[in-house]
Amino acid sequence: MPARVRFAFAVIVLFLLMTGPFLLTALIIWTETQISGRALLVQVLSPHLTLGFVLTALGFAAGVGVVRMLFRQYVQGLLRMAEHLGLMLGANRGFRVQPEGPPEVQALAQAANELAGQRDALMVDVEAQIARAKESLELEKNRLAALMSELTQSVVVCNLDGRVLLYNQRARTQFRALSEAPGVAGGGELIGLGRSIYAVFERNLIAHALDTIQVQLRRGDSEVQANFVTTTRAGQLLRVQMAPVLSAAEPVPAAPGQGSEARPEGPADVGRMLTGFILMLDNITRNFEVESRRDRMLHELTEGNRASLANVRAAVEMLEYGDLSDDLRDRFRKVIRDEVQSMSTRLDSTATEFADALKVRWPLEDMLGADLIAAAQRRIEQSIGLPTKLEDIDVSLWVKVDSFSLIQAITYLASRLSDEFGVREVRFRLSAAGRLAHLDLIWSGQAMSTETVMGWELESMRFEGESSPLSVRDVIDRHDGEMWLEREKVRHRAFFRILLPAAAPREVLESGIHLRGEGRPEYYDFDLFAWSEKSHELEERRLTELTFTVFDTETTGLNPSQGDEIIQIGATRIVNGKLLRSESFEQLVDPQRALSAESAKVHGISAEMLHGQPTIDKVLPAFHAFAADTVLIAHNAAFDMRFLQLKEAQTGLRFDQPVLDTLLLSAVVHPQQASHRLETIAERLGLTIVGRHTALGDAIVTAEVFLKLVPLLAEMGIHTLRDARKAAEKSYYARIRY
């Protein structure tokens, strides 16, 4: 039946149901009046009026039923379809409307699905074009990520507000070592995109360094940088080099608080201004301690040997007397031997004690000593054609060396021996000496003077067409080592002994250097250059501009007010609309109470796993620092926040930042849906759940759900934090209390 005919039929039926009883009653009254006359009008009218009212009531009820049926089939069906269309257009492109209800509504759903199919085909084509356009940009980003990840120095880039917008893996590891609680969640609360560098450095220190750079820029210096040394809150000593990040040719507004001084006027940077700064960090805590200990040791060595030298000098002066008796002469000789032996012992003891503190001026590599000598053999035999042999090689000894320059120095020495002294063969010997290594280059033949050795050490290395600006002494100094000439008179041999720092066999990498599932994670977001937190009040900031900490807790039970405790906290961060999976917080907590079997079935955490874990008073300060200056997000946040609030008195911490709840926001976006469980919302939005019922796993799913909800909220006119909080407060679920 055509839709118009059905509509006309429904209108007629509804009209008859509403007016039929009145017409029927009037007809009966008219008929009775004609038959019986006016005298009987009152007698006839009374029962018929009663019948009319009854029939009218029945007709009204039937009409309400028809209207209700039409409302369910058309109005509510169309509202559900509107929500589904929103999902199909925004959050879940693969979603399709299920045809249900009257034929007209089903036809509309089918048409919408066909349009969505055409839209998807167009979107695939557009996305392919965008992907091709972004290919070169992504290549540059990957090159940058590769470069940053391979740097051996810690690098952090900040905008003028001190917000971190780039850092490398070395910086992440170093900042974790600077944490006041490195045993909690890996100590990762100090570093992260969008985090403030002032959590590590004093604001006045950075401001002073920026002032120094601005003066250099205005002056037009060719090299612009500032250097300072500072102590962190964890007691670590950092040496920091700061360099500017300048805008392109077009100037941009100065950051709040910087004033006109942020605009350099130097001739080399006309039209450019300071937009951020780069920090290159070195932890010199151990260097400083080592140098202090070195100073003490040198002082003790000097003062300790002063008396011995005085005794030796006095004994030598006494031995010059010719009339000295043999007994006294032997006694003075014994004094000299004893004092020299004492000085030698003192020197050896000092060298052995200090061997582990030998530091290089640039990075050295751990290398198996046998491999180093094998490489030196190949180089000597190939470059100068001199045969080589081995004797007494400690195959288990590792050394810390710059292999290229050291092999070049050894080859240079072998070349000079061959050219000037006719040496026809050299031998290698490698042995351990406490925490040092002795590498000996041995030969047989004519002896040489100490002056010759010193000349070889100080000359630039040139041999067989190769040249280097370095001397042998430079290479030895590079290793903070030593080299000298020794003779074996019995075997008529001599050798150069090179003293090198030993290395532990395959030193274990620091915990946390490689993150789970991350080969080379992204740690950069250049959109933060344009972010000035001072320019907006938090409540008026758009959701797409804010930094969020998305968290979840696992607990011993569901009743925080009755003694249930947190046993795990997991969190991740959203910066500039991007989920930073690598910047996470995950920590088990010892609840110091029994764990119910029912809760263990849900989260899979056993009492054995919690044994030895830090307690909540140790974990919450680290999580508080991780979530600082961000908006908190959780699913059913009232539950998790209640656990945190009950610990305020114990820890002295308040989580007073704004909180958003994905359960409430889902109810705002999809009020017609019956379920707002995390799994249901994720399925509705086309998300795959991995790691459910672990704190970090739930936090990541919640973050992905929130990112899907943001554009749907924007379609409803909800753009700012204030808008989202007000909309959530109107939801029915907001009335639930824990």
Q: Show which residues are catalytic.
A: 693
Could you tell me how far CA 579 lies from the centroid of its own chain?
A: 11
Residue 616 CA to residue 647 CA, distance in Å, equals 8
Which SS3 state, helix, strand or coil, does residue 94 take?
coil
Burial string for 461-484 (b: 16+ CB within 10 Å, else e) reads bebeeeebebbbebbbebbbbebe
With 0-12 / 13-18 / 19 or more C-beta atoms within 10 angstroms meaning exposed / middle / buried, residue 698 is buried
DSSP 252-319: -PPPTTTGGGGS---GGGTT--EEEEEEEEEE-HHHHHHHHHHHHHHHHHHHHHHHHHHHHHHHHHHH
- Angle of helix 721-729 relative to helix 662-669, nearest 10 degrees? 80
Query: What is the dihedral sign for C-alpha 615, 620, 623, 625?
Result: negative
> 414 CB contacts (<8 Å, ≥6 apart)?
380, 384, 386, 423, 426, 441
Q: Which residue has the tokens 């979603």?
A: 95
Q: Which residue has the tokens 């409302």?
A: 71
Please work out, in degrees rounded to the nearest 5, the angle formed at the alpha carbon of residue 237 by the alpha carbons of 233 and 239: 120
Closest to 165 in 3D by CA, of 39, 277, 294, 21: 277
Segment holding 696, helix H or strand E: helix 695-715
Residue 569 CA to residue 552 CA, distance in Å, equals 6
Q: Which residue has the tokens 């709040």?
A: 256
Residue 355 CA to residue 480 CA, distance in Å, equals 10
Residue 115 CA to residue 120 CA, distance in Å, equals 9
> 610 CB contacts (<8 Å, ≥6 apart)?
567, 588, 589, 590, 591, 595
Could you tell me how far CA 142 lies from the centroid of its own chain?
A: 17
DSSP 318-356: HHT-TT--HHHHHHHHHHHHHHHHHHHHHHHHHHHHHGG
* Terminal CA-CA length for the chain: 55
With 0-12 / 13-18 / 19 or more C-beta atoms within 10 angstroms meaning exposed / middle / buried, residue 129 is exposed
> 722 CB contacts (<8 Å, ≥6 apart)?
539, 540
Residue 327 CA to residue 173 CA, distance in Å, equals 67
Query: What is the dihedral sign for C-alpha 72, 74, 79, 83?
Result: positive
Residue 47 CA to residue 49 CA, distance in Å, equals 5
SS3 content of the chain, % helix, strand, coil (to 5): 55, 20, 30
Asked if 698 and 678 touch (Cβ cutoff 8 Å), the reply is yes
Residue 522 CA to residue 535 CA, distance in Å, equals 27
Asked if 525 and 578 touch (Cβ cutoff 8 Å), the reply is yes
